[in-house]
Amino acid sequence: MALTDGAAVLAGASEPMQRGHQERLAPMTAEVMARAGVAFGEVGRIAVTIGPGSFTGLRVGLAFAKGLRLATGAQLAGIGTLEALAASAGAVPRAAGVVDARRGQVYLQAFAAGRALMAPEALTTAAAAAMLGELGGGAPFAIVGPGADLLAATTDESPILHVAAASLQALVDLAAAAEASADLRPLYLRAPDALPATP
């Protein structure tokens, strides 16, 4: 999470976690705002990642962002998680955001000079590697994200950047360019692992 003046990060925090999103998100936001010395009423735009990712994390993040929008009157914009990860590679010709989707799969989206080459997909690691080979025509992609290591064995040339979350500057840059929408929905690429019990 970051607070920006539209270009530079004024204050930020990143705490990757498996659980506890709901309990930590509001206090962490208040801490970032206090460090920057900015009141919530001064916020003009709120950007939030919409997925793919953890079901709980996406729901909590979106609900909090929508509540904050209602309280502040700020614009709301959504950012793709994989796009933010790929943008974290910096100025490289080709980058792919990768998240471990569990069950032998990854969430993948590839970009060239910031332009999406494919929609986000849930793929096996072998299919993901084949997709990158096809899209790159043999040229390597910077592979970025918490699932990057899963593709390390499938490529000899691609730089692997294992990061738990997108860089704050990448999020800031994408937030400035994202289209505002009050009706954001999470991007789920498959059904949840937990299902209701059958009677």
Which of 64, 77, 84 is closest to 183 using CA atoms? 77
Which of 143, 165, 164, 163 is closest to 153 using CA atoms? 143
Q: For 142, how many CA atoms within 13 A lie in the half-sphere containing its CB?
A: 22
Other beta carbons within 10 Å of 66: 16
pLDDT per residue as tens digits for the range 116-173: 999 999 999 999 999 999 999 989 999 999 999 999 888 777 899 999 999 999 999 9
- Quote the CA–CA distance of 138 and 79 in Å, as a whole number: 29
What is the pLDDT at residue 138? 83
Residue 131 region, left (φ>0) first, then alpha (ψ -120 to 50), else beta? alpha
pLDDT per residue as tens digits for the range 36-92: 999 999 999 999 999 999 888 899 999 999 999 999 999 999 999 999 999 999 999
Contact criterion met (CB below 8 Å) for 163 and 88: yes
Note the pTM of the prediction, 2 decimals. Answer: 0.91
- Quote the CA–CA distance of 80 and 83 in Å, as a whole number: 5
Cβ-Cβ contacts under 8 Å for 29 (sequence gap 6 or more): 1, 64, 68
**7, pLDDT greater than 80:** no
DSSP 164: S
What domains, with CATH codes, occur in the chain?
2-81+166-177 (3.30.420.40), 82-161 (3.30.420)
Place of tokens 């001064």: 42
Which of 91, 143, 142, 147 is closest to 122 using CA atoms? 147
The single-letter code of the amino acid at 179 is E
Residue 20 region, left (φ>0) first, then alpha (ψ -120 to 50), else beta? left
From residue 78, alpha-carbon distances to 26, 83, 127, 154, 172 in Å are 19, 11, 27, 31, 12
DSSP 113: T
